[in-house]
Structure 1
Amino acid sequence: MAFILLTLFIDILGIGIVIPVLPELVKELVGEDPIGVVDAAAELGPASQSAQESQSFSRAARYVGVIGATYALMQFLFAPILGALSDRFGRRPILLISMFGLGVDFLIQGFAPNIWWLFAGRTLAGIMGASFTTGNAYIADISSDENRARNFGLVGVMFGLGFTVGPAVGGLLGDYSLRLPFFVAAGLALINWMYGFFVLPESLASEHRSDFKLSNANPLQSIGRLSAYPIVAALSVVFVLRSLAQRGLENVWVLYTGFKFDWDASANGWALGLVGVMAIIVQGGLVRPVIRRLGERRTVVMGTIIATIAFAGYGLAPSGWMIPIIIVFGSLGGLAGPAIQSLVTGSVSETEQGKVQGALTSLISLTNVVAPLLFNTLLFSFFVSDKAPFKLPGAPLLAGSLMLSIAIVISIRVFRRFPQKSKSDDPIDEAESVATKASSAELATDS
């Protein structure tokens, strides 16, 4: 277990390191000035420089959105394929190929001479990054009924630590060079590959392996199973709206703070590190007592209301010093995710848990594809360009707040349509047990 946890942590750390600098590198690659437009703008004065800067951010946002969507699409398509291949050939070879591929991929991105090389690198990163499915399967292989929940909880901790330390380190490295974080990430991935090659054993015995079937690699097949559980199908809409808003925030964050507050990679790294710290505190320390006190349904509504206010605050904040305060407050909105997971878990039979969770994971993967295109390529790109009727860089975040408002209305209607069966919103002991598992799952999912 220690081997695979360290493997996952290094992978996550490597991915987290490049988060603060990727949009800046895109802006650099697409902001080349072969005909002297920037120099001409500088001669015309500050107003022209501001317009040129707006166009630079707008153009970069379009590319960042397409690159982010392609990365997520590759993960969506290849996660079940790599999972099925690991069922056929074992976990170890798939993990080793993915680790080595990530190392090579980060080198491609670090040396990328133009945007198309970076695009190719991020496409490969999406394919190789789909190995997390194999990592989860590895943990399932080596876990017993007694320690399975604890082991997957440790995975959530690794995600939280990786996405706390990674962006902070990436921000500091990005101050020296926008490409340095990619080379460090490549080194971590290749060290991870060597570690796995010499240390990581195979977890799947040959007698437990199955033939590879393309039907088992269909990522859309499981979503239709949600219709068998009406309350789960209804809550999945809330789940999708929350996920879409969250993924959109993550994708547009660096461009937004850079445009509005002139934050550099270091400032974004520290801010994203604070997000990770607060996620660990909320998911690890507050979920159980809050759900035990309020119940799952009230926690869903309360958490989503807090998230709605936080998104509006991000979009309307006039000064950068307000953002850390909003991060601390908005982290409480993360309570809603585990509460929804707990409601879903309590509404599904034990034999269907894996299929339903797989369907929700597929839905999240789809929001990962849509969010960059909607928040970056369409909204942010338009509202910072000269085509917009007025400059509103916070438009994507306000759109996220609107999505969350709709999620509040839907969740209230769902709870009225499917009233609780007992006087208590949820039994204390059951809520505590389920919330613990859901908290770990939510942290890993959000990461």
Structure 2
Amino acid sequence: MTRRSPLAIIFGVVFIDLVGFGIVIPILPLYAERFGASPVVIGWLLGIYSAMQMLCAPLLGRLSDRIGRRPVLLVSVLGTAAGFFLMGTANTLTLLFVARVIDGATGGNLSTALAYIADVTPPEERSKRMGLVGAAFGLGFIVGPALGGIFSHVAPQAPFFVAGALALLNAAALAAWLPESLPPERRVRTFHVAGARSLDLAPPARRRLACTLGAYFLTTVAFSLLTATYPLFTNRRFGYGPSENGYLFATQGFLAAIVQGGLLGWLIRHSSDKTMTVVGVVGLGVGLVILPFNGTAAALLATTAALAVSHGLVASTLNGLASRTVGAAVQGRVMGLMQSAASLARIVGPVLGGWLLHHDAVTLAAHFGQTPYWAGAGLLLAALALALAL
């Protein structure tokens, strides 16, 4: 039997997981409206998933340092399947919230996948290799939203059942083919709640990690604010439904896959992680400022493309910078902290975006989307200051 590359298997695990995630994201805001959810409630529906991730991701990361990456990945993928199936069978808004809670509580697979990559990759190669996760993320957002748009024509809940089935296939593939990356001799001996203070870093490394966490948090707030409100924005401004939004999200995924799957490694070799982070943050800020003024489909597509490319530059480089601040024994903990910061951001972003978009709905109909997207651009100014301090 030929030996399978662990990185290829991790790529496949993340890709299939993100296909399921990509199916749901363009559909869920409009699906929730069928239950009478307002933009603010939709923001909470999206945010509750990240609230549970914020609470559980550090624990799962620390647990993976203790018992290994493979069992944590397997449990998280099975939880994702359960959440998707419950979304498909939900007949009330309350059950939709319960489904998001289940999915979020077990949603530690990305941080554990990043820790897996850190286990098998030398420090100088980590940003490039973590770009593979970003590429899988991007490819998942090509296939997922397109499938969501297609299956939404079959039945409103059909995309959730497709996503659940894919998650079960993902769990089966992981159980069959993924080897453990963290041998027993490299595991921590005790389990306690993860936290930055317990990492025992020197002051310069602690400052770099704090700046990295802060920049990651702020950029994720801005991008999740955009992602959560984008279907409602395009529906109001351009009359787009699930299918059109699915194709737009697929375009974003395609561009992110190009950037993180190949272009990012070349760019880092000719510059640095810090430079690419700064360029990405600036690009995100500019894109958010001009997005509300898009009046044509061509302008919308161009701005969406710029936002996707910019975000592709930021996420992997910040994860790579964080990974390089610590040793091998605590990679899971640090990746858990990074994903916990991102999860908190994905609570703040959708809720803030929904509230500000509701403000636009009642006061600024001619400039719908301006308030949340300009607020996101303001947050990116603070992220830029932190990125420059790295």
Does TM, scored on the shorter chain, surpass 0.5? yes
257, 267, 278: which one aligns with 1:280: 257
Change in 2 beyond 3 A, CA 1:138/1:348: closer
Change in 2 beyond 3 A, CA 1:23/1:338: closer
Within 5 Å, give how 1:10-409 maps onto structure 2.
10-30=16-36, 59-140=37-118, 143=120, 145=122, 149=126, 152-205=130-183, 209-211=187-189, 213-216=191-194, 218=195, 230=207, 233=210, 237-287=214-264, 302-334=279-311, 337=314, 341=318, 344=321, 354=331, 359-376=337-354, 378-385=355-362, 388=363, 392-394=367-369, 395-408=371-384
Distance 2:61 2:42 in 1: 28
Superposed displacement of residue 148, structure 1: 6.8
Deviations 1:173-210 (A, max 9, x none): 22332211101011111222333444445555555554
Percent identity (aligned)? 31
2:223 is aligned with what amino acid? Q
Does the 8 Å CA contact 1:80/1:219 hold for their aligned counterparts? no
Q: SS in structure 2 opposite 1:113?
A: coil
Distance 1:226 1:69 in 2: 33
Superposed displacement of residue 384, structure 1: 1.1
**Partner residue, 2:3:** none
Q: Name the count of aligned residue pairs.
A: 381
Distance 2:322 2:48 in 1: 31
The unaligned stretches of length 5 or more in structure 2 are 1-5
1:14 is aligned with what amino acid? G
Does the 8 Å CA contact 1:291/1:299 hold for their aligned counterparts? yes
TM-score w.r.t. the length of structure 2 is: 0.81
Change in 2 beyond 3 A, CA 1:243/1:224: farther
Does the 8 Å CA contact 1:9/1:158 hold for their aligned counterparts? yes
Cα RMSD (Å): 3.8
Q: Do structure 1's residue 6 and structure 2's residue 12 form an aligned pair? A: yes
Does the 8 Å CA contact 1:170/1:269 hold for their aligned counterparts? yes
Deviations 1:7-44 (A, max 9, x none): 332222111111111111101112xxxxxxxxxxxxxx
Distance 1:93 1:349 in 2: 23
Distance 2:246 2:200 in 1: 35
Distance 1:86 1:353 in 2: 10
Deviation larger for 280-289 or 66-75: 280-289
Does the 8 Å CA contact 1:223/1:360 hold for their aligned counterparts? no
Does the 8 Å CA contact 1:223/1:363 hold for their aligned counterparts? no
TM-score w.r.t. the length of structure 1 is: 0.72
Distance 1:306 1:177 in 2: 38
1:97 is aligned with what amino acid? V
Superposed displacement of residue 297, structure 1: 6.5
Does the 8 Å CA contact 1:5/1:158 hold for their aligned counterparts? yes
The unaligned stretches of length 5 or more in structure 1 are 31-58, 419-447
Deviation larger for 315-324 or 234-243: 234-243
Distance 1:349 1:207 in 2: 18
Distance 2:261 2:275 in 1: 19
Deviation larger for 302-311 or 65-74: 302-311
Superposed displacement of residue 61, structure 1: 1.3
Larger RCO of the pair (alpha carbons < 8 Å, separation 6+): 2
Does the 8 Å CA contact 2:134/2:256 hold for their aligned counterparts? no
